[in-house]
A and B are shown apart, each in its own frame.
Chain A
C-alpha cells in the first residue's frame, strides 16, 4: 500500500516536471506545442487539484451522467441543477456533470438504469424517497438498492400540512373537525399514489381516524396552485412549494411534521407539540452511484459531494428552502437506507398500497 502511494507520488512529480517542460515549448509558438500545451494544462490542473483530495487516487475520464429520478422542475431536479452549477462554477471536477431526467414510473426507470450500469464509474443519481418505495411497489423491476454505492446524504426536506387562508381553519383541531364533517369528500392534493405525500396523507388519516379523497397532480407546484385556486382543500407540501403563496397570504400551514420548528416558519407548531410525535416524515436528498464501483471512485464522489455540501450556495439554498442540511456518508448512509426501506415497508403495508 505504501509502496503504491510512493510510486504514485513519484509519478505525480514526474508529471509536474513534464508540465513545466511542455509549457516551455508553448512559448515558442509552434502549433504542435499549443496542442500539447492544452493537453498538459489539463494534466497540470489535475495535478494541482490533487493535494486538495490527497486520497482521491481515482479521476473521472469522461463526463459524468447525473441521473435525476424525477421530471424537470421538481425539487430533486432543481437541486441537481444547483449541484451541477456549483460544481462547474467552483471547478470541483475536471469533467462536466451532466443532468439527465429519468422520471419514468416514479423513478422505476432510473433505478433500473443505475442497476444495469453496475461498474460504470461515470454515473451518479440524486434520489427521492421513491428510492425506497418504488422497488417495493414493483418487485418485478429487479432492483436492489442495497447494491448501489451510497455516496452522501445532502439534506432532508420537510412536510407541512397546508390549507387555504380563506378556509377559516386556524388549527389542527379545526382541521380535524372540518375533515370529519366532510365525511370522506375532503380533497387532499398530492403527486400520486405511493409518492411521499400520499404516505403522509395516509399517516394523517390513521393518526386522526380521518378519511380523505386523495387527488394526484403532476408535481408539487401544481398541487400548491390547486390549493390556492381552491380546487382542493388541503395539501402536504414542502416549504419550497408553498412559501411564495404563504408570504402572499394565500395559504396557511397548520403543522410541520418535524421534531423541531423550522427557521423559516417559526410560528408553525410541530406535530410533537400538538401531541403527535410519531407524525414525522422526511424526504431525503441523497446521492448514490452505480453498484460495484471501485473504492477510489467512491471516495472521489464522496469528496466531490462534501465540497458541494460545504459550499456557501448549498448553505444558502437549504436555509431559504427550509431543508435540514444533514450529512451522512459511507456505511452510515447505507445503514440509514436500510432503516428507511424497512420503515417504508411498514408504511406501505399499513396504507394498503402494497
Chain B
C-alpha cells in the first residue's frame, strides 16, 4: 500500500536521536503536568512553545505532541489517586478509578488506565494513518444540528450516572447547565449572569473551577469526615505479583477498551466534540451494555478502561481536524496550530501534499510516543502508589495547596480560587444530602456546546425545530441518544421487577 512507505519513513524520522529525545522528554513533562490538578496539556504545550524554537519544526511538533500525549495519560493519575480530574477528559475516569483506589486497588486502576490509553491511542493512530483524508471530509459534514444531536447523545449517557433520587439528579444537571451559561452570550453579544458585577465572571465559570472545588476540596472534606482523624484512608500494597495479576485481569476489559477506542476516535475527529464527550459516551455505553451495570461507580475496571481508551483515542483524533482543516478541536490543539503557523506550516487540505515529511514524522512519532508514554507511566506506578501511603494529615493540606495553585493557574485569577472554595463547601454539603455531583460537573462541560449548537441551528433554520430530524446524520444521533436514554431505564425496571429492591446508588 502506498501508505506504508511514508509511514515507515515517518517512524524512522521519529526515531532520530533528537526526535526520540523530544518524545521521551515530552512524555515525562506531560505526565507530570497532566497529573497536577488544574494543569493540563494546554499549560505544558503553551509554555514550552518558545523553547521549541530552538529545535527544527518537526522535532518541535513531535515534542509538543508528546507532551499532549503524556498529559492525557497523566490526567488519569490524579483522577484515580486523588479523585480530582486533572482535565475535563478525565472526569469519567474518576467514577470508577477513585472507588478502586479507595478499595486498595489503585495499582490495578493505574495499570488498566495506562494499557487502555495505549490501546486507544494506537487504534486511533492506525485509523488516522489509514483514513485521514476521508474522515476529514466526514468531519466537514458536521454542522450545528449534528453537533447538537451529538450533545443529546452525550447527555443521554448521564442517565444512570445519577444517584437514587431523580429530582436531585436532575437538579444537579440543571445547575451545571446554568453555571455553564455565565459569561457572554455569543448570539446576542451580551454579558450574561455576571453576578454582583464581578469582572471575574466575564470569563465564565471554568469547568476546572467546579471540578477542583467539588472533587478537590469537597472530596477531601468528605474524606476527612469519614476518616475522623485516622491517618490512613486507602490501603495500598504493591508487589510484582500484584502487577502481573493486574495485567492478567485486563482480559475482562477487552470489549470496553475496543469500543471506547472507536467511540473516542470518532468523537475526536469532530471539530466541536473532542475527548470529553468521547470519554463520557464510552463510559455510558460500557455501563449500558455491561452484564453488571450496578457495579459501575463502585469500582468496575471497565469504568476505567472505557473512558481512558476513549480520551486517548479522541486526543489523537482531534489532531485530524487541526491538520487537515486548520480547526483546533481543543485549546491544546489550538496552540499546536499556532505553533505550526509560526513555523511557516499551513494546516489545511494541502498540508499532507506540501509537507509530507512533517505530517508523517508527526504520525510516526505518535506511534513512538504512545509506546513510551505507556512504559514511562507503568514505571511510575509504584511512585504514585508510594504517595498514597503518606498519612492523610500530610496529604490533605498538600492537596489543598495543589488545588489553590492549580486553580489559580489557568486564568490567573484569585476570583476563581475563591469560587473553588465556595464550590468545595457547597459540593460537600450537597453530597451529604444525597445530591449526585458528577452530572453537574459534566453538564458544565457539555452545556455551552449544547446551547450554542442549538441556537446556531435554529438561527440557520429560521427557528424551525424540524432541522434536527430532517438532516440524516443528526436524526441518526438523536435516535441513538434516545435508545441510550431508554435502554438503561428499561433494564433497571426489569431488574427491579426481578429483585423487588431499589437499584444501586451512584
Closest partner residue, chain B, to A97 (CB atom): B50
| Complex contacts, A226 vs chain B, CB 8 Å | 143-144
| Complex contacts, A185 vs chain B, CB 8 Å | 462
Closest chain-A Cβ to B456's Cβ sits at a distance in Å of: 5
Q: A221 and B328 in contact (CB under 8 A), knowing A85-B50, A232-B460, A244-B349?
A: yes
Interface residues of B, count at CB 8 A: 57
A108/B50 in contact, CB under 8 A: no
A81/B49 in contact, CB under 8 A: yes
| Complex contacts, B452 vs chain A, CB 8 Å | 218
- Tell me whether A296 is interfacial, beta carbon within 8 Å: no
A221/B326 in contact, CB under 8 A: yes
User: How far, in angstroms, from A193 to B184 measured CA to CA in the complex?
Assistant: 11
A228/B140 in contact, CB under 8 A: yes
Contacting B at CB under 8 A, from A183-238, are 185, 187, 191-195, 198, 213-219, 221-222, 224-226, 228-229, 231-232
Closest partner residue, chain A, to B333 (CB atom): A73
| Complex contacts, A85 vs chain B, CB 8 Å | 49-50, 53, 342
- Tell me whether A140 is interfacial, beta carbon within 8 Å: yes
A248/B143 in contact, CB under 8 A: no
A228/B325 in contact, CB under 8 A: yes
Closest chain-A Cβ to B83's Cβ sits at a distance in Å of: 28
Pick the residue among A77, A82, A105, A248 that contacts B183 (CB under 8 A).
A105
- Tell me whether B202 is interfacial, beta carbon within 8 Å: yes
Q: A105 and B50 in contact (CB under 8 A), knowing A85-B342, A231-B460?
A: no
1/0 contact string of B91-118 vs chain A (CB within 8 Å): 0000000000000000000000000000
B456/A113 in contact, CB under 8 A: no
B143/A77 in contact, CB under 8 A: no
1/0 contact string of B323-359 vs chain A (CB within 8 Å): 0011110010111011101101011111100000000
B462/A213 in contact, CB under 8 A: yes
B346/A243 in contact, CB under 8 A: yes
| Complex contacts, B189 vs chain A, CB 8 Å | 106, 137, 192-195, 198, 216, 353
| Complex contacts, A247 vs chain B, CB 8 Å | 346, 348-350
| Complex contacts, A317 vs chain B, CB 8 Å | 342
User: How far, in angstroms, from A195 to B184 measured CA to CA in the complex?
Assistant: 12
Q: A109 and B197 in contact (CB under 8 A), knowing A72-B335, A81-B338?
A: no
- Tell me whether A104 is interfacial, beta carbon within 8 Å: yes
| Complex contacts, A244 vs chain B, CB 8 Å | 326, 346-351
Closest partner residue, chain B, to A228 (CB atom): B140
1/0 contact string of A31-69 vs chain B (CB within 8 Å): 000000000000000000000000000000000000000
- Tell me whether B271 is interfacial, beta carbon within 8 Å: yes
| Complex contacts, A102 vs chain B, CB 8 Å | 203, 411
Pick the residue among A193, A225, A321 that contacts B325 (CB under 8 A).
A225
Closest partner residue, chain B, to A185 (CB atom): B462
Q: A229 and B140 in contact (CB under 8 A), knowing A137-B189, A250-B349?
A: yes
Contacting A at CB under 8 A, from B179-195, are 183-184, 186-191, 194
User: How far, in angstroms, from A187 to B351 measured CA to CA in the complex?
Assistant: 29
- Tell me whether A180 is interfacial, beta carbon within 8 Å: no
- Tell me whether B141 is interfacial, beta carbon within 8 Å: yes
Closest partner residue, chain B, to A241 (CB atom): B326
User: How far, in angstroms, from A213 to B327 measured CA to CA in the complex?
Assistant: 23
Closest partner residue, chain B, to A87 (CB atom): B50
User: How far, in angstroms, from A137 to B203 measured CA to CA in the complex?
Assistant: 17
A108/B53 in contact, CB under 8 A: no
Q: A89 and B53 in contact (CB under 8 A), knowing A104-B203, A109-B199, A194-B189?
A: yes
B459/A215 in contact, CB under 8 A: yes
Closest chain-A Cβ to B455's Cβ sits at a distance in Å of: 9
1/0 contact string of B358-396 vs chain A (CB within 8 Å): 000000000000000000000000000000000000000
- Tell me whether A171 is interfacial, beta carbon within 8 Å: no
Q: A245 and B348 in contact (CB under 8 A), knowing A105-B183, A222-B327?
A: yes
| Complex contacts, A73 vs chain B, CB 8 Å | 328, 331, 333-335, 337-338
Closest chain-A Cβ to B469's Cβ sits at a distance in Å of: 17
B342/A82 in contact, CB under 8 A: yes
Pick the residue among A100, A140, A191, A214 that contacts B197 (CB under 8 A).
A140
Pick the residue among A104, A113, A222 that contacts B271 (CB under 8 A).
A222
| Complex contacts, B140 vs chain A, CB 8 Å | 225, 228-229
| Complex contacts, A71 vs chain B, CB 8 Å | 331, 334
B142/A229 in contact, CB under 8 A: yes
Closest partner residue, chain B, to A193 (CB atom): B189
Contacting A at CB under 8 A, from B155-213, are 183-184, 186-191, 194, 197, 199-204
A72/B347 in contact, CB under 8 A: no
- Tell me whether A78 is interfacial, beta carbon within 8 Å: yes
| Complex contacts, B183 vs chain A, CB 8 Å | 104-105
Pick the residue among B54, B202, B339, B348 that contacts A108 (CB under 8 A).
B202
User: How far, in angstroms, from A125 to B155 measured CA to CA in the complex?
Assistant: 39
**Which among A71, A215, A320 has the greatest number of chain B C-beta atoms within 10 A?**
A215
| Complex contacts, A192 vs chain B, CB 8 Å | 184, 186-187, 189
Closest chain-A Cβ to B297's Cβ sits at a distance in Å of: 33
User: How far, in angstroms, from A81 to B334 measured CA to CA in the complex?
Assistant: 12
B459/A213 in contact, CB under 8 A: yes
Closest chain-B Cβ to A111's Cβ sits at a distance in Å of: 9
Closest chain-A Cβ to B471's Cβ sits at a distance in Å of: 10
- Tell me whether A138 is interfacial, beta carbon within 8 Å: yes
| Complex contacts, A113 vs chain B, CB 8 Å | 199
- Tell me whether B42 is interfacial, beta carbon within 8 Å: yes
Q: A81 and B342 in contact (CB under 8 A), knowing A216-B456, A231-B460, A245-B348?
A: yes
- Tell me whether B412 is interfacial, beta carbon within 8 Å: yes
Closest chain-B Cβ to A139's Cβ sits at a distance in Å of: 12
- Tell me whether A99 is interfacial, beta carbon within 8 Å: yes
- Tell me whether B46 is interfacial, beta carbon within 8 Å: yes
User: How far, in angstroms, from A314 to B129 measured CA to CA in the complex?
Assistant: 34
Q: A103 and B203 in contact (CB under 8 A), knowing A232-B460, A244-B349?
A: yes
| Complex contacts, A84 vs chain B, CB 8 Å | 49-50
Pick the residue among B194, B335, B411 that contacts A81 (CB under 8 A).
B335
A104/B187 in contact, CB under 8 A: no
**Which among B190, B191, B344 has the greatest number of chain A C-beta atoms within 10 A?**
B191
- Tell me whether A166 is interfacial, beta carbon within 8 Å: no
Contacting B at CB under 8 A, from A68-127, are 71-73, 77-78, 81-82, 84-85, 88-89, 99-100, 102-106, 108-109, 112-113
User: How far, in angstroms, from A310 to B150 measured CA to CA in the complex?
Assistant: 48
| Complex contacts, A243 vs chain B, CB 8 Å | 346, 348
Q: List 20 additional A-B contacts (Cβ < 8 Å) besides A141-B199, A213-B460, A244-B346.
A: A73-B334, A73-B335, A73-B337, A77-B334, A81-B338, A81-B339, A82-B342, A84-B50, A109-B203, A113-B199, A222-B327, A224-B327, A225-B327, A243-B346, A244-B350, A245-B348, A247-B346, A247-B349, A248-B349, A250-B349
Mark A residues whose CB is within 8 Å of B: 71-73, 77-78, 81-82, 84-85, 88-89, 99-100, 102-106, 108-109, 112-113, 137-138, 140-141, 185, 187, 191-195, 198, 213-219, 221-222, 224-226, 228-229, 231-232, 240-241, 243-245, 247-248, 250, 316-317, 320-321, 353
User: Which 3 pairs of residues, A with B, have the shortest CB-CB distance?
Assistant: A244-B348, A73-B334, A104-B203
| 24 examples of A-B residue contacts, CB within 8 angstroms | A73-B328, A78-B338, A85-B53, A85-B342, A99-B46, A105-B194, A112-B202, A141-B199, A185-B462, A187-B459, A192-B186, A193-B187, A195-B189, A215-B456, A221-B337, A224-B327, A228-B140, A228-B325, A231-B143, A243-B348, A244-B349, A247-B348, A247-B350, A353-B189
